[in-house]
Amino acid sequence: MITILMYHHITPVEINHGVTPENFKDQIIALQNKGYNFISVSELEEKNKCRLSVKKNYIAITFDDGWLDNWAFAFPILKELNIPATLFLVTGWPSIGECRSQEELEHLNLLDHTDLMKIANSAIPDKAVMRWKEIEIMMDSGLVNIQSHSHSHGESWKNLLETKTITDDIRHSKKMLEKHLNIRVKHFCWPRGRFTPELVSKVSSLGFEQQYSTMKGAHYTDKLNQLILKRINVTNITGDELVKGLKKYHYSIFAYMITCLHKLKIMYNLNKTTKIGSILQWLRL
């Protein structure tokens, strides 16, 4: 089984979309104790070409957006436990500058996700998100793989009506990562978990080999053949609770039903349509 976990914030205070450092570490250790093999999305891709072992359980940790608390609280734990992860970065948010000192990080604004999003989309996102230098150090550690999560994460992503604007945004994000980090960008994570069949096709044409969603579920075959990969959002629970919660995704019929419902919800929210042709097109994704 291949399970991709989704995180946003690792922070000492309990916030929406947040997990405390204590629980984050406990979750990793609990998964290790249950025999899960940790792997980055790039490693997942390489192993996929040789077919993954059906006898092993794989876990890929992903972080969305590029929040400063990932640098302050998550990265030290990843280094301590030698765990690979992937950061899906909003490339319009990081600024140029030196790494924040430990003293600066101790005075980090521990705000709720909604307030942090407002700061990230303001003229001074630096107070909420990582700088390019911090991102480079995470990448150079060999543990953190950086991939695209759009350039703006802005209003256009709410309804996905402006196809050209969104496509240009994704293309710009890819170029920014290649420029700042000198990497090949092959993975794209959809902002707000929303996508359309047309945009999925356009993203593939831009050179992205894999796309990631907020659809709940795991992958059960020894080869990843889905274009849109599912992830499981992790909440602020203990390691044992996480391990227990993952068990239900072992039942393929349950996971398939959850995925279908998620796709139909996105389709209806965007298009307000119940046409059979549209429904079948979405379910094929």
CA distance 123 to 127: 10
C-alpha 47/C-alpha 41 separation (Å) is 10
Q: What are phi and psi of 155, to 5 degrees?
A: -65, -30
The residues that bridge with 60 in the sheet, in sequence order, are: 4
- pLDDT for 66: 96
* pLDDT, tens only, 14-48: 888 999 999 999 999 999 999 999 998 887 766 65
- What's the confidence (pLDDT) of residue 149? 95
SS (H, E, C) 97-150: CCCCCHHHHHCCCCCCHHHHHHHHCCCCHHHCECCHHHHHHHHHCCCEEEEECC
Which pLDDT belongs to residue 42? 82
Task: Output the pLDDT for position 154.
Answer: 72
Domain boundaries of the chain, sorted by first residue = 2-248
Fill in the DSSP letter of residue 17.
T
Of the two residues 45 and 167, the one the predictor is more confident about is: 167
pLDDT for 173: 96
Output the pTM of the full model: 0.87
Main-chain phi, psi angles of 240, to 5 degrees: -65, -40
Q: What is the pLDDT of residues 96-140, one digit of tens each?
A: 999 998 778 877 778 889 999 899 888 889 989 999 999 999 999
Answer yes or no: are the C-beta atoms of 5 and 88 closer than 8 Å: no
CATH of domain 2-248: 3.20.20.370
> Between 267 and 173, where is the model more confident?
173
Name the residue with tokens 């990793």. 28
pLDDT digits (tens, 9 = 90+) for 184-211: 999 999 998 788 888 889 999 999 989 9
pLDDT of residue 62: 98
Structure token digits, residue 181: 């980090």
The tokens for 159 are 């309804």
pLDDT in tens, 54-73: 678 899 999 999 999 999 99
Of 202, 216, 209, the closest CA to residue 188 belongs to 209
**Residue 190 has what pLDDT?**
92
Residue 145: band (very low, low, confident or very high) from pLDDT cuts 50, 70, 90: very high
Mean pLDDT of 70-80: 96
Does residue 80 have a pLDDT over 60?
yes
pLDDT tens-place string over residues 219-257:
765 555 567 888 999 999 999 999 999 987 766 666 666
State yes or no: pLDDT of 212 exceeds 90. Answer: yes
Worst-scoring range by mean pLDDT, 75-89, 198-212, 270-284? Answer: 270-284
- The confidence score (pLDDT) of residue 124 equals 87
DSSP conformational letter for 35: T
pLDDT of 167 above 80: yes
Q: 120-124 — which CB contacts under 8 Å span 24+ positions? A: 120/65, 120/90, 120/93, 120/153, 121/153, 121/154
